[in-house]
Every structure is written in C-alpha cells, then in structure tokens.
Amino acid sequence: MQSKSSMDTDLVLTVITPTMGRPSLDALIMAIDRQTITSAIFHILLWDDKRDPWAHAPGYYESTRRRSLIMLPGSGRNGAAPGSALRAVGLMAVQTPWVTFADEDVRWDPDHAEAILAAASGRQWATSLRRVWSPQLAYLGVDRFEAIGDAPGRLVDYEMSDNNLMVFRRELGTAAAVLYRETRDYNDDRLMYAFLKQRAGQPGRTGRPTIDHICPDRLVGFFSQHCSPS
C-alpha cells in the first residue's frame, strides 16, 4: 500500500475486495474502472493462499489505484464468515475519507460510487439498493425487502444492509474492524449495520438500485419469492 505522503490527495473512496481471483473479479474491476468518478477511487484486493485455479498472480491486477495485499495462509477461511477477517485488514489499511466493500459477485452501475457518496453527503454513512441475479444470470428482481435496514418495506425480522451496499467514513470502519475480525458466523454485515446505526446516526439512501448482485444457489428461492420486479 502506498504511504500517506504518496497517496493521491484526490482519492475519496476505498473499495475493499476479499478475493480468490475468480473470473468474475475481472468484471468487477472493469465496472469500478468505468465509474463516473473513477479517479477518486482506490481499490484494495485481499488474498490468502486459496486461489481460483485460473487466477492470475495478485500482482497482475495492480495499477496506480489498485493494490493486492497478501495475508497469511488460511486468513480468508473464517468459519461461516469467509473473507470477514480479510475485510478487517482492509478496513485498517484505508487512507481515504470513505470506504465500501465490493465482493467478486457484484457489479456496479457506472454511477454507483457517485450516487452513494452523494447520498452520504452531510452524513456518516449511506446505503444503496441492489438488483439480484441467480448464478445462471436469471434476473430475480430488486431487493426492497431484506437488505434495506429499518426502511419501510422490510419483510424480515432482522435489520441489515449487505456489505456491498454500505459506504461509511473511514474512522467508523477502523472502529468496526474488530467485528469483522472476530466473528465466525454468517453475520458480519448485520453486525456492521447495527454498529453504524448506533454510532453513525441515520444513513443516507440512494433510493434506487445501483448494484447487480449474484446470489448463491441456496438463496435463489428466497430472492425469487420476495424481490420486486423493479
């Protein structure tokens, strides 16, 4: 990672991606590099020793605004929370004012970063909505029922925003890194949502989907049943 003195002062947002180097990583990188505010974005890729058989070496993906950090073997396998400990490392490495996550299975609309930062203006965090797709790329609809926190329309008995849908101030991410490091349950995004709701006040909201998210096979029925057409 670049030192603070050499970090581009025009950078505003850091994106954190735990990765195995799956082919979908290339599509994510392409989407980030096509943002309307690409010059304001820095991207951190976090690796351990588990790699996709077709993955390039971590250094292949680097550029002036993208760096690969390689962690100890096994760092990304963390009980039912794979990648969570890698996210914790990323949160501690961020130098920009704002931070977000982008997993290998998401794609950003060209104006996603601009829209969610605009929603966060005057606040300490913000959330977006997502379009959900099956692994076979069948469109399942817009998630307006689960990953919307406490917004009207929530149909589940818990509050959350998916990791990929939140942007927040760097100092909040630093304070919350321990939550990602220590959990071994499938709940790091719920922990982060609760932390931000308690510590950061009400979030801004884009009010529209700006992300495409490919869900795992086991959740296709869940999203098919509850997602809205648009």
Q: Residue 4's pLDDT band (boundaries 50, 70, 90)?
A: very low
Cβ-contact 22, 28 below 8 angstroms: no
pLDDT for residue 3 is more than 70: no
- Asked if the structure places residue 218 within a domain, the reply is no
Q: What's the pLDDT at 1?
A: 42
Q: Find the domain containing 26 and state its range.
A: 13-128+163-207
- Asked if the structure places residue 177 within a domain, the reply is yes
Mean pLDDT score of the chain, rounded to an integer?
95
- Asked if the structure places residue 7 within a domain, the reply is no
List phi, psi (to 5°) of 212.
Answer: -100, 130
- Tens of pLDDT along 199-212? 999 999 999 999 99
pLDDT for residue 8 is more than 90: no
Please, which residues have CB within 8 angstroms of residue 55's CB and are 6 or more apart in sequence?
20, 21, 22, 25
CA–CA dist 7, 97 (Å, integer):
12
b/e map 130-165, b = 16+ CB within 10 Å: bbbbbeeeeebbbbbbbbbbebeebeeeebbbbbbb
- Asked if the structure places residue 5 within a domain, the reply is no
- Beta strand pairing status for 41-47 and 166-169? unpaired
- Asked if the structure places residue 140 within a domain, the reply is no
- Tens of pLDDT along 157-209? 999 999 999 999 999 999 999 999 999 999 999 999 999 999 999 999 999 99
- Asked if the structure places residue 216 within a domain, the reply is no
Domain holding 21: CATH number? 3.90.550.10
- Tens of pLDDT along 133-164? 999 999 999 999 999 999 999 999 999 999 99
Tokens 């996709």, residue located: 52
Cβ-contact 94, 173 below 8 angstroms: yes
Domain count of the fold of the chain: 1
- Tens of pLDDT along 115-128? 999 999 999 999 99
- Asked if the structure places residue 214 within a domain, the reply is no
- Asked if the structure places residue 187 within a domain, the reply is yes
